């Protein structure tokens, strides 16, 4: 799923430039992605882009992880999420979408790089990246514990 979302992010630097779902499905299938993975990624993305802001998530709060989240998100991933919130890259609602996306990644092991890519995808899809190139450089080339 993450490969498909990254493909979309890299192909359509502005969300508004992405074609409709049918055209996306055809393009992704032609690019070699499996139909089930395409549907899962586009369904998750549709939920993300069509969701309303939840008023309780407008306030910062400490995140307590569910047992299944603790099982899938190792210490390094949870530390990366905490760091991104503390650095004000992620707001609480965006963090929840990043976690949702990570939990939807099927059986693959989740690494901090996955957290950073999912962060970019969530911020991009929610229209929260004004200068995505700078943020992309910061997120994808930073060393753990440093964001500048």
Residues 124 and 9 sit within 8 Å (Cβ to Cβ)? yes
pLDDT at 67: 95
Residues 42 and 5 sit within 8 Å (Cβ to Cβ)? no
Structural domain contains residue 127: yes
Residues 73 and 102 sit within 8 Å (Cβ to Cβ)? yes
Structural domain contains residue 147: no
Count: domains in the chain: 1
Structural domain contains residue 96: yes
Structural domain contains residue 146: no
- Does residue 64 come out as left (phi exceeding 0), alpha (psi in the -120 to 50 range) or beta? beta
Structural domain contains residue 98: yes
Output b/e per residue, 39-50; b: 16+ Cβ within 10 A. Answer: ebbbebbeebee
Structural domain contains residue 58: yes
Residue numbers in the chain where pLDDT is lower than 50: 145-148
pLDDT at 146: 46
Tokens 């502005």 locate to 14
Cβ contacts of 22 within 8 Å, gap of 6 or more: none
Structural domain contains residue 129: yes
Structural domain contains residue 33: yes
Domain region containing 63: 2-141
pLDDT at 148: 41
What is the distance, to the nearest Å, from the Cα of residue 36 to the centroid of all Cα atoms in its chain?
Answer: 19
pLDDT at 45: 84
pLDDT tens per residue, range 97-119: 999 999 998 777 899 989 988 99
């Amino acid at each position: 799923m993450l490969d498909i979302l990254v493909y979309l992010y890299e192909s359509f630097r502005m969300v508004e430039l992405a074609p409709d779902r049918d055209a996306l499905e055809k393009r992704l299938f032609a690019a070699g992605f499996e139909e089930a993975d395409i549907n899962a990624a586009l369904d998750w993305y549709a939920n993300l882009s069509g969701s309303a802001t939840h008023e309780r998530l407008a306030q910062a709060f400490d995140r307590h992880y569910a047992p299944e989240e603790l099982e899938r998100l190792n210490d390094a991933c949870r530390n990366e999420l905490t760091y991104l919130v503390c650095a004000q890259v992620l707001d609480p609602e965006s963090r929840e979408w990043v976690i949702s996306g990570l939990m939807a990644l099927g059986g693959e092991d989740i690494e901090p790089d996955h957290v950073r890519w999912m962060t970019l995808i969530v911020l991009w899809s929610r229209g929260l990246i004004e200068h995505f190139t700078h943020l992309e450089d910061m997120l994808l080339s930073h060393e753990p514990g440093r964001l500048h």
